[in-house]
């Protein structure tokens, strides 16, 4: 049978020569296809980018550089934008030629001849990406595109988009137009965007009057304002200035003689304050947020250029409640009084409300450190519970006054256990306990809870608060107790996202166990009746652990600082009231202020409103460590009162196996050396105990008339 169309049923096998020819044809076709892909592929990709990517406008550069700070619910807290007049557009013709030349010498010496991108720099960026690095050279056109639209992510996608737009903008605008847009958009540091604002910020004059030396300095800071600003680093600023001038000579834009005659220019002092910081109480929140960002490695340049979206932990409703509570308590009171309040979520460390005073551009009293008074007593209990054997809440002590150490009125007791002593704030008992467990162990317990202030060389007076702490630290440390011994870094920043969607930071949710939950619950137990004793209970019978603190003045019958701090399982809040000059604090009626008066009023008002819509929470069951606390009321000898059998366990656990508390990491937001509160010498009293721990009820004022020239009279 023959095949249709003729031909043999069997094909003749190919000869070796024919097979070689077939392979050569296949190789040629593959090579041609590969070459076409190499040549046409990038053109196709480039063409797609050309079609879909829009050329940015100068307005895009302004918009994408604005950092937004929001509350926890996403509503706006503030915009970190230049101050009015700090971004002034100027025609490129008004910028002196030697200033323009200086910028080109610093940033892009081939600007007028390159196609808008630097091929060598791009290849270097690709190689760095392949090796896991970052960076690569950019022309002025690329820098402008990056700031205006693309973002600053180190990736090949960004470089691709940057190159396409750089070429596209080079086709649509002249080089002078691109340079003018760049000079009006770039950040120069000191809050200055654009060459005109930079000229005012560094030299106090318009750009038209700048000479070559001044232009070289401004051109030099563009790359890294925080590094090259002479006010921050004069030596490196001179090095950068030399580099720019030498580049101008190399390009023929400056003569060798002009270079030899050039002198490093003097700049004016940087203006204090930051754009976008509110002048009211929220200003302290924003300043604290920017300080926290800086500690996280997110610099002022990032804030100024990357269009960051910063979400804080601040609850807008609770923030307003904190401000309102402080205002209500201080309304009509002496003008010299100052107050601070911080509220922390014990489960996350997030700061829910932050009040450091009404002058948002002034001193932040939430970070000012003052003597702690009796708010330090819970840390003495914490240290005692971790001893071997532990000192339980049922341990009894003599509570009568001794020479050199007195109690507040009504706080004496012949014999009382630790819970009774905490309830009435008996100084003698806690001074004795601090001696027994060791002041260093008290300091270590406070550090484990979250106190970051120096507690160097402590003595037994630490039990009565002879060390300085801030409202922020106290709220955080009490939050650790409320959280069952798990410490969370107190923080204001929850998340940071760039304008192009990259997440730069997201706050950690896990905590660090500092001491056992059972130990924390025993400390809570010691504090549960304080609020009721001081008339500061919360609505609906809500359980709350609390402690007041009053720091006595060197003037008899006067107090200098007053505290109230307390917590539920979901909210820890501390309040401080004092003065700038560490002088006696009185009400408008002339009465000395103690922890349970004005600070207590602020705390009670805030906590009541902040928790109004929340369900009533209870603390975990109390399982005593050591001897259990008695049910005897304050003032009744607990040894004469039967102690109920504790539940739910029939036996008491022996000493907890707890290693010494680790030193917590330093808080970058703690008050810095040089703060007026940190440099003040603590007051000293007889036996180290007279001035620190007396609280709740101040000693009676002297019956003689007071000399208002020595002690201010309300």
Residue 147: which of 25, 307, 270, 7 has the closest Cα?
A: 307
3 state SS of 213: helix
Does a cis peptide bond (omega within 30 degrees of 0) precede residue 389? yes
What is the strand order of the sheet 351-355 is part of?
351-355, 337-344, 571-579, 559-568, 545-552
CB 286 within 8 A of CB 71: no
Residue 213: which of 238, 180, 182 has the closest Cα?
A: 238
Residues 6+ apart with CB under 8 A from 677: 368, 369, 370, 468, 470, 671
φ and ψ of 360, to 5 deg? -65, -15
Number of separate helices (H) and strands (E) present in the chain: 24, 16
Residues 6+ apart with CB under 8 A from 537: 531, 544, 604
φ and ψ of 403, to 5 deg? -55, 130
440 given a catalytic annotation: no
374 given a catalytic annotation: yes
Separation CA 168–CA 273 (nearest Å): 40
- Give the largest Cα separation in the chain, rounded: 140
Residue 445: which of 523, 367, 369 has the closest Cα?
A: 523
CB 351 within 8 A of CB 344: yes
Report the 10 Å Cβ neighbour count for 90: 18
Q: Read off the DSSP letter of residue 20.
A: H
Tokens, residue 290 = 């920017």
Tokens, residue 66 = 């604005």
Q: How many alpha carbons lie under 13 Å from residue 139 in its C-beta half-sphere? A: 26
Say which of 197, 374, 425, 432 is annotated catalytic. 374
CB 314 within 8 A of CB 354: yes
Tokens, residue 647 = 């539940």
What is the set of active-site residues?
107, 374
């Amino acid at each position: 049978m023959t095949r249709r169309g003729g031909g043999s049923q069997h094909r003749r096998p190919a000869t070796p020569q024919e097979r070689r020819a077939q392979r050569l044809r296949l190789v040629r076709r593959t090579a041609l296809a590969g070459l076409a892909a190499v040549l046409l592929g990038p053109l196709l990709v480039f063409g797609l980018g050309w079609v879909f990517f829009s050329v940015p406008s100068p307005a895009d550069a302004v918009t994408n550089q604005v950092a937004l700070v929001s509350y926890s619910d996403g509503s706006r807290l503030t915009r970190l934008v230049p101050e009015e007049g700090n971004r002034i557009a100027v025609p490129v013709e008004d910028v002196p030629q030697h200033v323009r030349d200086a910028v080109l010498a610093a940033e892009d010496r081939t600007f007028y001849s390159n196609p808008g991108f630097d091929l060598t720099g791009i290849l270097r960026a690709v190689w760095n990406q392949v090796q896991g690095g970052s960076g690569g050279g950019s022309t002025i056109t690329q820098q402008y595109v990056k700031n205006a639209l693309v973002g600053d992510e180190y990736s090949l996608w960004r470089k691709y988009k940057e190159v396409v737009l750089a070429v596209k903008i080079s086709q649509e605008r002249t080089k002078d137009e691109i340079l003018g847009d760049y000079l009006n958009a770039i950040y120069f540091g000191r809050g200055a965007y654009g060459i005109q604002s930079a000229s005012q910020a560094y030299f106090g004059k318009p750009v038209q009057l700048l000479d070559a030396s001044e232009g070289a300095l401004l051109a030099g800071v563009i790359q890294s304002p925080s590094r090259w600003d002479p006010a921050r680093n004069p030596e490196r600023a001179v090095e950068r200035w030399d580099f720019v001038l030498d580049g101008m000579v190399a390009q023929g834009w400056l003569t060798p003689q002009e270079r030899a005659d050039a002198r490093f220019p003097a700049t004016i002092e940087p203006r204090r304050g930051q754009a976008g910081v509110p002048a009211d109480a929220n200003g302290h929140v924003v300043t604290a947020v920017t300080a926290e960002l800086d500690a996280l490695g997110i610099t002022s340049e990032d804030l100024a250029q990357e269009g960051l979206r910063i979400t804080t932990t601040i609850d807008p409703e609770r923030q307003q409640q904190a401000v309102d509570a402080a205002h209500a308590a201080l309304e009509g009171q002496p003008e010299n009084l100052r107050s601070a309040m911080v509220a922390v979520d014990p489960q996350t460390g997030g700061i829910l409300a932050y009040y450091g005073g009404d002058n948002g551009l002034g001193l932040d009293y939430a970070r000012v450190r003052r003597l702690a008074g009796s708010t330090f007593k819970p840390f003495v209990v914490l240290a005692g519970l971790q001893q071997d054997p532990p000192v339980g809440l049922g341990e009894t002590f003599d509570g009568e006054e001794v020479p050199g150490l007195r109690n507040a009125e009504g706080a004496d007791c012949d014999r009382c256990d630790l819970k009774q002593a905490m309830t009435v704030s008996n100084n003698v008992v806690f001074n004795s306990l601090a001696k027994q467990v060791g002041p260093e162990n008290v300091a270590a317990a406070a550090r484990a809870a979250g106190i970051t202030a120096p507690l160097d060389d402590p003595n037994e007076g630490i039990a009565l608060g002879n060390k300085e702490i801030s409202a922020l630290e106290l709220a955080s440390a009490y939050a650790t107790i409320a959280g069952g011994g798990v410490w969370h870094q107190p923080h204001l920043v929850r998340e940071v996202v760039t304008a192009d969607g990259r997440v730069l930071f997201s706050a950690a949710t896990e905590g660090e166990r500092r001491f056992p939950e059972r130990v924390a619950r025993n400390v809570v137990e010691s504090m549960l009746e304080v609020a009721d004793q001081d008339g500061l209970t919360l609505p609906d019978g809500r359980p709350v652990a609390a402690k007041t603190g009053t720091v006595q003045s060197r003037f008899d019958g006067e107090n200098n600082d007053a505290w109230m701090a307390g917590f539920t399982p979901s909210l820890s809040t501390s309040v401080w009231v004092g003065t700038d000059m560490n002088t006696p604090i009185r009400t408008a009626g002339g009465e000395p202020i103690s922890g349970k008066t004005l600070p207590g009023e602020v705390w009670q008002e805030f906590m009541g409103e902040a928790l109004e819509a929340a369900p009533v929470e209870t603390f975990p069951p109390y399982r005593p460590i050591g001897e259990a606390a008695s049910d005897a009321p304050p003032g009744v000898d607990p040894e004469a009162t039967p102690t109920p059998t504790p539940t739910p366990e029939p036996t008491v656990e022996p000493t907890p196996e707890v290693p010494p508390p680790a030193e917590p990491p330093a808080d970058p937001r703690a008050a810095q050396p040089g703060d007026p509160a940190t440099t003040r010498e603590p007051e000293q009293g007889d036996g180290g105990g007279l001035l620190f721990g007396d609280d709740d009820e101040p000693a009676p004022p002297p019956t003689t008339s007071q000399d208002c020239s020595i002690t201010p009279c309300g």
